[in-house]
Amino acid sequence: MNAKTLVWMSLCGLLLAIGCDAQTLIGQVPDGSAPDGPPTGAGGQQSFDPVGTMGHTCGPVQFAGDHAYDLPAGTEGVWTGYTESLQIGISSDAIRMTLDHATDGASQIHVALGVKAPPPPATSATDSYPPGTDTGFGGASGQTIEGFSYTAHNVDWQPFGTQWRLRFIINRAEPYASWCRLQSSYAVNYGSGTDYSCVPGNGGGSMTGPGLDGGICYTSDGSGQKKDVSCAQFYLCAGAYTCGCDQCGCDQQGISYDGVPSGPGTYDILFDGTSASGSGVHLMRAAN
């Protein structure tokens, strides 16, 4: 059992009430590696000084398996319908899928669940996100955000007789990109190398205040020194698979510790003329 595992297990114990994914770590750079960065404190202790404040990672967030693709004839447009299972935090079983082209001409697919408007971009680095979420029981759980238009990744089109089979995943960390870009990046030493996180130190906990949203938590540098951080930052950075940071700054988490896109929702849909179904989703063409 390595030092990263021991640290993450300690965090999991602190976050048991909200759930914890023992297979993921914050602080990975966009390509999933952990490049050499500035040293932490003397003797391998953690530094509370940020190393990146650029409002983005050094390069664009990368997703293994992404590639250019074409939209088969007859599939471009807006498709609306319903999902068979209502997800936590979503007020409606409605789904909207848009297949079109970006300004540069590249094909793109977006999926939105529910009927509410998406949350506005984050404006505070210390408040919970989405606004009004009681951090730890909402935003920190990595649940799907109603109204947000998720980008399809790892898109794969395959002919199936006269029909078309579409498979893709979505990254549930994507709605948190605006919040993550407000965060500073900290070098974190787990004993086996330098990673990066949007909170300093490699441990912590202890909530004070009226509730998780607005409460004060702390992080530790491993030598007993502590730094207060908002519980929103503690849980979204250290307890949920939300932000990925490098030596420049932070953004939405794209690649997990084991190289798997964050909390993917998977879709496998068969398009047949003006209807499409699969993965518990039923769609009809709404517009071309």
The model's pLDDT over 171-225, given as tens digits with 9 standing for 90+, comes to: 888 999 999 999 999 988 766 667 888 988 766 665 555 444 556 788 877 667 7
In a domain, 61, yes or no: no
Question: What total of structural domains would you count in the chain?
Answer: 1
For residue 5, what pLDDT band results from cuts at 50, 70 and 90? Answer: very low
Domain range for 194: 3-31+76-238+251-287
Using DSSP bridges, classify how beta strands 163-170 and 265-272 pair: parallel, antiparallel or unpaired. antiparallel
With respect to residue 277, please indicate whether it lies within any of the assigned structural domains: yes
Give pairs for 271-274: CB < 8 Å, separation 24+: 271/72, 271/74, 271/75, 271/163, 271/164, 271/165, 271/166, 272/162, 272/163, 273/74
User: Confidence class of residue 14 from pLDDT cuts 50, 70 and 90?
Assistant: very low
Tell me, yes or no, whether 244 lies in a domain: no
More confident position, 189 or 21: 189
pLDDT for residue 263 = 52
42 domain-assigned: no
> Which residue has better confidence, 215 or 280?
280
Which pLDDT score, from 0 to 100, does residue 241 have? Answer: 67
Report whether pLDDT(257) > 80: no
Report if residue 48 sits inside a domain.
Answer: no
Is there a domain that residue 114 lies in? Answer: yes
Q: Give the model's pLDDT for residue 207.
A: 58
The reply to whether 18 falls in a domain is: yes
The answer to whether residue 41 sits within a structural domain is no
Give me the pLDDT at residue 12, please: 38
